[in-house]
Amino acid sequence: MDPALKLCALLVILLLVNDAFASDFGHCERVVKSWAYTSLDNEIREDKHTLGDLLFFLHVPRTGGRTYFHCFLKKLYPNSLECPRSYDKLRFDPSKPKCRLLVTHDDYSVTSKLPKARTSVVTILRDPVDRVFSTYEFSIEVAARFLVHPNLTSATQMTLRLRSKTKAVSTLDIWPWKYLVPWMRQDLFERRDARRRNGQHTIEKNDYYDMEDFAMPLHEYINHPAARDIVHNGATFQVAGLTNNSYMAEAHEVRHCVQKYKILGKYVLQVAKKRLNNMLYVGLTEEHRESATMFANVVGAQVISQLNAPNTSLELVDKTEQSSVSDSDPDSSEHQNSTSETVASEVTSSDSGEATKLKMSAKELMGAYEGCISNLRKAQSSRRIASLKRISPVNFTKEARLRVSEEVLQEIRSLNDLDLELYEYARAIFDKQHKATMRAFTEQRWDNISSTASEITFWKFLPLAITFAFLILVLLLIVNVRRRTLKIK
């Protein structure tokens, strides 16, 4: 072929490719923008500071939301007011119109099924890098419990049989674990089989996040398509209503576009930030004490007064209406034979026993919370230790995290750029709300001191003060008289 002709052909191809890219990008930009505008328009509540009839706890996985559910909300709301568990979308059941509490890993799009104007949304966010670590560790921890079985076939069959027998919700039913755990389970069995085939294996490094003989290394996990689908930027996508578990038909196209063209992420962030702004409460996993206290004062106190209101419209505590699964804990109702399981279920049952005490103050609530959370943590930690023993020497500890290379950390940060920005924004909201709550408290206290309290003190101490002044006067007089008599002498 003529060189000039070749050049021409090349140019034509380049133009075509370029054109295809431009039109695909243009299409994506239109899709994302139009989604963003509709979402920003859809206002949820006028007064975001007042608790509505329905409290929706948007539970981002691995943020510690479970302790709020067990140790606050279950103590406040009777079971009859809990919406049927919707940790899995097949289970979502809008047929309980009077329910008042919904806690789920569903994304924001579930609000399309809720009475928007009467719904208050709360959530907790966590440092994105720590959240990725925790997701990785939990996926492996839960999957490792299956290693009691001789092989993968036997493990999956046993689980299927048990699940058909009981109604309780298992971690395996819940998004995102229903994808992450089976994936890791298969992976762990494959690695164990390979170890058995190959016999000796040497452990050179002590980096628990990179021991490929025993578990998928962290750097491999974060680059897998499944992690890209459901782990990275997970908080932003969940708050925006764009997870791959979304109720919204167009969510999937929007998500794919944003994953393909990073620049479109700014529209998703805009929507997510606005949503956070309109929430009744935003907590932070890192500021645990302050977050819990604020939750008790901002959410807990309002729930208490709402449920205690004399003309409250709920026909309270209709026990027959109790949902059969509302007692079970999504993360601890695993149907395997593990010794630590009993510990977890003991905690759960003793906690839900106190669930319906309505006459509680925010302060008492905080007290109950502290006890509950320490039990829950003990149970979680013994479960984790028992489970990780099965893939020993791998052991996910705080110290081990410090040995992960900066390169991997940097990769996690870059894969979670939207979450990093959203987290910064959440911190700002948190600080503002924290200051406002503190101000409200000190103002109240100051009012009490300057009015009632100080008046009481004044009248109580007036007679004492008069007596004291009188005594001093007498003393002065005596001294004076003695001085005079001395002079005269």
Binding site for ligand NAG (CB under 6 A): 150-151, 153-154, 158, 179, 225-226, 229-230, 244, 311, 313, 337, 385, 388-389, 392, 395, 397, 444-445, 448, 452
Minimum Å gap between C-beta 448 and ligand NAG is 4
Minimum Å gap between C-beta 267 and ligand NAG is 21
Dihedral angle sign, alpha carbons of residues 235, 239, 245, 248? negative
List own/partner pairs for 481-488 with CB under 8 A and 24 or more apart.
none
Q: Which residues contact 11 (CB under 8 A, 6 or more apart)?
A: none
CB 303 within 8 A of CB 55: yes
Question: Residue 104: in which H helix or E strand, if any?
Answer: strand 101-104
Minimum Å gap between C-beta 6 and ligand NAG is 43
Minimum Å gap between C-beta 100 and ligand NAG is 12
- Alpha carbon of 79 to those of 211, 352, 355: distances in Å? 44, 9, 8
CB of 313 or CB of 485, closer to ligand NAG: 313
Minimum Å gap between C-beta 393 and ligand NAG is 7
Interhelix angle 406-415/128-144, nearest 10 degrees = 100
Minimum Å gap between C-beta 226 and ligand NAG is 4
CB of 69 or CB of 209, closer to ligand NAG: 209
- Unique residue bearing structure tokens 């994936």: 183
Minimum Å gap between C-beta 282 and ligand NAG is 24
Minimum Å gap between C-beta 9 and ligand NAG is 39
Query: Token pair of 422, please?
Result: 């959203």
185 phi, psi to nearest 5 deg: -65, -50
Q: Which residues contact 31 (CB under 8 A, 6 or more apart)?
A: 250, 253, 254, 257
Minimum Å gap between C-beta 466 and ligand NAG is 28
CA neighbours within 13 Å on the CB side: how many for 408?
18
- Alpha carbon of 178 to those of 240, 245, 339: distances in Å? 21, 11, 23
CB of 106 or CB of 351, closer to ligand NAG: 106
Query: Token pair of 475, please?
Result: 């003393």
The beta-strand segments (E) located in 294-386 are none
The number of angstroms, rounded, from the C-alpha of 230 to the middle of its chain's C-alpha atoms is 15
CB 244 within 8 A of CB 230: yes
CB of 156 or CB of 323, closer to ligand NAG: 156
- Unique residue bearing structure tokens 């299956």: 146
- Alpha carbon of 140 to those of 99, 137, 200: distances in Å? 35, 5, 23
CB of 277 or CB of 452, closer to ligand NAG: 452
- Minimal CA–CA distance to 121: which of 297, 284, 283? 283
Residues in the chain: 489
CB of 6 or CB of 228, closer to ligand NAG: 228
Rounded CA-CA distance 117/251 in Å is 22
CB of 460 or CB of 489, closer to ligand NAG: 460
CB of 150 or CB of 353, closer to ligand NAG: 150
CB 193 within 8 A of CB 203: no
The SS3 call for residue 181 is: helix
CB of 344 or CB of 426, closer to ligand NAG: 344
CB of 203 or CB of 477, closer to ligand NAG: 203
177 phi, psi to nearest 5 deg: -65, -25
Minimum Å gap between C-beta 250 and ligand NAG is 13
Minimum Å gap between C-beta 311 and ligand NAG is 4
Minimum Å gap between C-beta 339 and ligand NAG is 8
Q: Which residues contact 432 (CB under 8 A, 6 or more apart)?
A: none
CB of 448 or CB of 457, closer to ligand NAG: 448
Interhelix angle 3-41/251-260, nearest 10 degrees = 130
Minimum Å gap between C-beta 141 and ligand NAG is 12
CB of 452 or CB of 480, closer to ligand NAG: 452
Rounded CA-CA distance 140/183 in Å is 9
CB of 241 or CB of 426, closer to ligand NAG: 241
